[in-house]
Amino acid sequence: MRERATVRAFPPLRPHRALGQNFLRDPNISRNIIAAIAPEREDTLLEIGPGEGALTHELAARAGRLVIVDVDDRVIHRMREMLSGTAVEILHEDILNVDLAALAARVGNLRVVGNIPYNITTPILFHLLDHRSVIRDAVLMMQREVARRLSAIPGSKDYGILSVASQFSADVAMLFDVSPNVFYPRPNVTSTLVRLTMRATPRAAVADEAFFRSMVRAVFGKRRKTLRNSLRYFLGEPPPAGLEEFLEQRPEELAVEDLARLSNSLFEARRVERTPA
């Protein structure tokens, strides 16, 4: 194991509410998270929002390479002091603006970790899923209600756009819940550690992924309507013939594979429509 940087005490940071900061301050939970990540010497880790560094030293010691990213000037300053003399790369950026494909091209495919801010959890998840080709997995702490949406099954109240997007691109594993008492400030919700293992190929084959995503967003945006009605809004016209097995159902009743079949049928019908005779 490589030599660890000298760990010295730093004064606590005052969390910024606007940044959704809740700092982990329980070493037992930190050890459990590290065990779940199980970093290896060949790994390149990207830590989102290191905060006060509850995980950072151990990640730096175990991984082959560690890149950390945070938008907060104070966190960046602390990380530069804390990690002085190490090979850790520090990016002072909003994770949503980081070109993950370009980063991976430079440092290798990524394993992503972090206690991500509750207020931008969903955008971060979509950002990671959009770059799944350069991400091996992501071990993330998030609000339990959001975690449940990732793994929700068709027909449940939590099943929606995020469920479909996550399960289309990744295998989702709920690892363990974390009490609000281990964070400062104490959030009003329980957190859950989740692993997303990116799939080499999507769960279901789609003819056009952008079309599939647009259709899913559109129909779940009107989830109380049957697909006969919600597809009318999406297409700007009644859905084509041959889709009767879907049309009286609501979107939340369809599994990812069913939604992919529906998307492929619609995409093919539109392609044929637009092909010159």
Domain limits, the chain:
17-198, 209-274
pLDDT digit string (tens) for 69-91? 999 999 999 999 999 999 999 99
> CA-CA distance, 247 to 249, in Å (whole number)?
6
Per-residue pLDDT at 14: 77
CATH code for the part of the protein at 17-198:
3.40.50.150
What is the rounded distance in angstroms from the CA atom of residue 264 to the CA atom of residue 253?
Answer: 18
* Residue with more model confidence, 174 or 85: 174
Distances in Å between the alpha carbon of 271 and those of 149, 265, 277? 33, 10, 12
State the pTM of this model: 0.91
Band (pLDDT 50/70/90 cuts) for residue 223 is: confident
Query: pLDDT confidence of 3, banded at 50, 70, 90?
Result: very low
Q: What is the mean pLDDT of the chain?
A: 92
Per-residue confidence (pLDDT) for residue 200, from 0 to 100: 94
Question: Residue 273's pLDDT is what?
Answer: 67
Q: For residue 15, is pLDDT > 80?
A: no
pLDDT tens readout for residues 227-243: 999 999 999 999 998 89
Strands (E), the chain: 23-24, 44-48, 65-70, 89-92, 110-115, 135-143, 170-178, 183-184, 191-198
The CATH code for residues 209-274 is 1.10.8
